[in-house]
Amino acid sequence: MRIDSHHHFWNYSAEAYGWIGNSMSVLKRDFTPVDLKKNLDEAGIDGVVSVQARTEEAENDFLLGYADDHSWILGVVGWLDLTAEDVEEKVARFAERPKAVALREVLQGMKDREYCLREDFNRGLATLHAHGLAYDLLIYEDQLRAATQCVDRHPLQPFVLDHIAKPQIGGPDGVSPAWAAEIRDLARRENVFCKLSGMITELVPELTQWTPKLMRPWFDVVLEVFGPKRILFGSDWPVCLLRGGYAEWVHCVESWVKELSPDEQADIFGNNAQRVYRLRVS
């Protein structure tokens, strides 16, 4: 089964999605399961994991409701305030839903770049393992060191790094040695997986066109440090529409992994998502 491990749905309003700026007009509309299914069928993707796009508890019910109605939505990465006093009860209620598979916080937007090291945050994070939930790390590359320290506090907890930590891609200096070193260090923790997602939206703005060859050096680093057993394909649809189409990104990743064995390709395009998120696939 081929799985897209990272995409979003929303019913757009400027109030609910303030992060969608004036330069992102293509995203200022509703994106529903009907819209996504067309892309999945075209690209040969069988199932998806839906990921939160609002830091509200109502987002969980919104996404899980879609998942209840569509068998091909295999899991939901939701949001809860892990610093809340009643976090254990809230995590337990979320985990009761069959397709609730993980949580994440928008760490990338925190003024405190080491928010993930807060004691109250880590107390909340420590409740996930007992309920079989993974945790998605949504960070920029400047937060990689703190994220690694956070991971070290939870050696049994499965983590998934979103968007390869959002390095700048395609600039004249190529792959940042600092990003490569920090992501290599994080990858030494075998409980951490990495999503091949969100890369085209990190291209430097002056690039009006991109090719798989242009971005290949960043993929090569990820493949080297995580290996095909801990990499997940993700589209980041509809955010990816800012720089490319759904099928275009699928074909890009396919071109990168074609040199791998069929089993390794199957791991990246679905098996690893099933494993880390404990997806129930019929």
pLDDT (tens digit per residue) in 168-181: 999 889 999 999 99
CA distance 245 to 237: 9
Residue 267 has pLDDT above 90, yes or no: yes
State the average pLDDT over residues 259-278. 98
C-alpha distances out from residue 257 to 11, 234, 263, 274, Å = 34, 14, 11, 19
| Average pLDDT taken over every residue of the chain | 96
Residue 160 has pLDDT above 80, yes or no: yes
Other C-beta atoms lying within 10 Å of the C-beta of residue 274: 20
- What pLDDT does residue 88 have? 97
| Entry pTM | 0.96
Residues contacting 11, CB < 8 A, separation 6+: 30, 32
82 pLDDT tier (thresholds 50, 70, 90): very high
- What pLDDT does residue 162 have? 98
Residue 22 has pLDDT above 90, yes or no: no
- What pLDDT does residue 179 have? 97
Tell me the residue type at 130: A
Both structure tokens of 83: 């610093």
pLDDT digits (tens, 9 = 90+) for 58-79: 999 999 999 999 999 999 999 9
Asked if residue 69 lies in contact with residue 274, where contact means CB atoms within 8 angstroms, the answer is no
CATH number of the structural domain 3-277: 3.20.20.140
Tell me the residue type at 201: T
- What pLDDT does residue 281 have? 84
Residue 248 has pLDDT above 80, yes or no: yes
8 pLDDT tier (thresholds 50, 70, 90): very high
Residue 282 has pLDDT above 80, yes or no: no
- What pLDDT does residue 205 have? 87
